[in-house]
Chains A and B, each alone.
Chain A
Amino acid sequence: MNALQHLENFLQALTSGLLTGADYGLMCVGLSLIFGVMRVINFAQGDFMMLGMYAAFHAVTGLGLTAVLGDGAGPYVAAILAGPAVFVVGYAVHGLLVGRVTGVAGGRLEGDGHHAQLVLTLGLALLLQNGALIVFGSSPAGIATSLSYSAWIIGPLAGDWVTLFINQAQTVSAIVAVLVMLLFTALMARTRFGKALRAAADNPHAALYMGIDVERAYRLAFALGVAITAVAGGLLALSTSFQPYVGIDYVIAMYAGVVLGGLGSVTGAFMGGLTIGLVQQLSTLVLPAQLQNTAVFVLFLLVVFLRPQGLFGRAVRQA
């Protein structure tokens, strides 16, 4: 292998890192609303993402979206529809379970309910994973679009040595992910709901006295957080196969991204997720494929040990 081939490998890994990274970024945006802003730890975030994947899958196969919209656009619409579907689940789960150990209710528990949150959402993760196994079965599923097998080819460059393949499905997914992220940023910055939520997260008691329905704001935020991650899952499902236990592979990566981006910052979380995607793909240049996730874990540990305030955010108060 000569230097140019190395360059080609590097550029290819960089491209796919950026493309999957955008999806990771969106996943992290969803989690940052829950973990970064509300300081609720949700171990089941990856499993809500898995629900998003199956929601998109069933929207494609069950609703016949591809028949109506064509197999180019149909799956993307399905991925977006995963959002509202998981939003409803998230809203119910928060109302019935998570809300009882977080927020104002959590404040009454030992250690602000942190211990209870950790354990409760672990139970939720087990329930969702195994419940999905019962409902959806264990065989890997995937959503194919007409774009999944097509790529834009750049090159050959540098005298036939460097040719890049850019997967079209992944590229469109990345664009959709960025658009959803921008939409969400606008929602948080511009709307009454966004302001109420930021106030409720910053100081629940003060917000309560200002007439904000804090419990409802939290419930909506939790539902919105898992819904955004679910959309990211739906987009990811277009280029990867999945099964009910897929969430656990992503949950550490998501937390790594949120912490890396600095808690409480939406754009930071997106950049954090992007970085995780890049690290994961670039690690394949030097590490065997099985150790991709290990590379992410090591990065996560390095970040929490060395720079818990994140790389992108300003230093924030410790929880």
Chain B
Amino acid sequence: MTMAKARPFLAIALFALAYGAAILLFDNAYHRLIITLVPIWAVLGLSWNLFSGYSGLISFGHAAFFGLGAYLVAIGAAQWGLSPWLGIPLAGGLGGLAGLLIGLPTFRLRGHYFALAMLAYPLALLSIFDWLGYQELTLPRRQDAPIAFMQFAGTHVLPLLSLALLVAAMLLTRWLERSPMHLALLAIKQDEAAAEASGINTRALKLKAMMMSGAMAGVAGGFYAVVLLVVTPGAVFGMLVSAQALTVAMFGGVGTLWGPVIGALVLVPMGELLQARLGDVIPGIQGVIYGVAIIAVILLAPNGLYWKLRGRPAIRVLTPRPGALALSPPDRGTDILVVEDVSRFFGGVQAVSGVSITVRAGEVLGIIGPNGAGKTTVFNLLNGFQKPDGGHIRFMGRRIDGLRPSTICRAGIGRTFQVVKPFPGMSVLDNVTVGGLGAAGAEGKAWAALEMVGLEDIAGRPADSLTSRQLRLMELARALAGEPRLILMDEPLAGLGAGETEELVAVVRRLAATGLTIVIIEHTMQAMVRLADRFLVLDHGRVLAEGAPEAVTRDPRVIEAYLGRKWMDHAAG
């Protein structure tokens, strides 16, 4: 292991040593309780962060997982004689299962509705456990088997176990941050549609993240039951639990390994000590502290202390990693994509009606037509953003209509967008790597794709600092990193100056020369006649004409519907 790779582990080890030493210093029972609770809330914060921090879907419901874990361990110990050593892993399993069951329906909701629904789950569970008669469940003293029930004689054992749990959660988070899943979640956070179109099965990935997060929260809840020995619905399913998960993570730093740990280290002792000192005089002081902390973070440092202190990541200079793109095209001239009689309605409007298109391998097909002709809708049908109301689509012999965009992308259809959809907070390299996550060696492929479009020199720059030409090229590289057989380009020249247009045209021609099949929508006719082997004209959602560029641009119907008289004069002159 090199120095740079070892550093994060070193930091975790140093932190564990320092915290472990602090545990040994405290003799006061109350302080020991606090030092045991800090890692528990940090684990819950890491669990929240793992899902909401990386994916951007705000959960107000992590108390559901935490509470289920706490009750499983408590009921297990009190009624079934189940040792927490078994109960806590089971609590993790239950949290994961709850993540799956909650995620399956709830991911259909967006924005506000997702947040509200997540808030409803723990509150519903709270009243259910109340009704079941678990208003207050005490874990029994087990002097017959103290170690099996985590009731240690040594007062430092429980805090050290708590620390061990936190270290495990940190290592898991660290592993996630190095895995392709991390990049994919960040992509979802910034633009879910673009992530899905780049080959990431967003639904499956969110479910996976929710299950991992639920499991982590379940373990934290289970251990919490062992520490406090009393479980009440309000204490484990209450809103303060979900709020605490979110607060420690947001306060310390969203989407980071250290953020939730820092947040818990600062806020938990502060809240607890104030509660102990002033709780009799000022009840609710802990809640006030959390409330003020959340409000202050949102207004002053929306991404948390960690980012505030660290500042924006500097531009990195990256060394290219060798990699190659396998763009092996099918035999030239075979029918790679066959669209048969495809229709799509929006309300009463026929956006696309009865369109049939055949794309041959290795050709560049230009789709032209007036605004509102249904060009982009055709692309959305081809890449799976929309499902056709009628007809079918075959790609390399396989039916693809109705499949998820990510599945279609992995089958070999890449696309770019009329309005560029970058992942603005990520580096150029990371943006492009997202496109290659479907297979192994994504970063190498990203480098190869960047080289193809000529962006390898700015690979380390953040995407939101690019010009529109660079953004268009980056989006193209992202599509290429998925090793497509066919690429759909939606107005790649829109908003570019004359010189920039030339550069993009050159790149597209270079790609075409490799044998890649390209379908391109574009209004710039001067560029189109040089790029396309064949034109297809759409008007009012139907195919108006199709054929060689020279023939199509002289077709009177095309001139009337789209090109206009000026074009004819210009062409004649």
Within 104-142 of A, Cβ neighbours of B (below 8 Å) are at 109-111, 114-116, 118-120, 122-134, 137-138
Chain A interface: which size bin? 35 or more
User: Contacting A130 at CB < 8 Å: which of B124, B128, B287?
Assistant: B287
> Contact at B282–A134, with CB atoms within 8 Å?
yes
> Contact at A300–B120, with CB atoms within 8 Å?
yes
Say yes or no for B283: interface residue by CB 8 A criterion.
yes
Say yes or no for A149: interface residue by CB 8 A criterion.
no
**B245 smallest CB distance to A (angstroms):** 11
**A257 smallest CB distance to B (angstroms):** 12
A251's nearest neighbour on chain B, judged by CB, is B119
Q: Chain A contacts of B299 at CB under 8 A?
A: 97, 100-101, 120
Say yes or no for B459: interface residue by CB 8 A criterion.
no
> Contact at B288–A131, with CB atoms within 8 Å?
yes
Interface residues of chain B: helix, strand, loop or mixed (majority): helix
Q: A32-45 toward B: CB 8 Å interface, digit per residue (1/0)?
A: 00010001010100
**A307 smallest CB distance to B (angstroms):** 12
Most buried by B among A100, A127, A132: A127
Q: Which candidate, B4-12, B109-117, B144-152, B556-564, is the interface stretch facing chain A?
A: B109-117
Q: Chain B contacts of A134 at CB under 8 A?
A: 282-285, 288
Roughly how many angstroms separate A131 CA and B291 CA in the complex, as a whole number?
Answer: 10
Q: Chain A contacts of B109 at CB under 8 A?
A: 304-305, 308
> Contact at B284–A304, with CB atoms within 8 Å?
no
Within 257-295 of B, Cβ neighbours of A (below 8 Å) are at 282-288, 290-295
Q: A271-300 toward B: CB 8 Å interface, digit per residue (1/0)?
A: 000000000000000001011111001101
Say yes or no for B384: interface residue by CB 8 A criterion.
no
> Contact at B108–A252, with CB atoms within 8 Å?
no
Say yes or no for A162: interface residue by CB 8 A criterion.
no
Say yes or no for A189: interface residue by CB 8 A criterion.
no
> Contact at A126–B123, with CB atoms within 8 Å?
no
Most buried by B among A110, A116, A304: A304
> Contact at A119–B113, with CB atoms within 8 Å?
no
> Contact at A301–B117, with CB atoms within 8 Å?
yes
B244's nearest neighbour on chain A, judged by CB, is A126
> Contact at A248–B239, with CB atoms within 8 Å?
yes
19 CB < 8 A contacts A-B: A35-B112, A41-B112, A100-B299, A101-B298, A114-B112, A120-B295, A126-B240, A127-B287, A129-B287, A130-B284, A130-B291, A248-B239, A252-B116, A288-B131, A293-B123, A297-B121, A300-B120, A304-B116, A304-B117
A residues contacting B by CB (< 8 A) are 35, 39, 41, 43, 97, 100-101, 109-111, 114-116, 118-120, 122-134, 137-138, 244, 248, 251-252, 255, 259, 288, 290-294, 297-298, 300-301, 304-305, 308, 319
B residues contacting A by CB (< 8 A) are 56, 58, 60, 105, 108-109, 111-113, 115-117, 119-121, 123-124, 127-128, 130-131, 239-240, 243, 246-247, 250, 282-288, 290-295, 297-299, 302
7 smallest CB-CB distances across A and B, nearest first, come from A123-B294, A130-B287, A127-B291, A126-B291, A130-B284, A133-B284, A290-B131
Given contacts A259-B113, A301-B117, A319-B112, 8 further A-B contacts (CB under 8 A): A119-B298, A122-B60, A131-B284, A134-B282, A293-B124, A297-B120, A300-B116, A304-B109
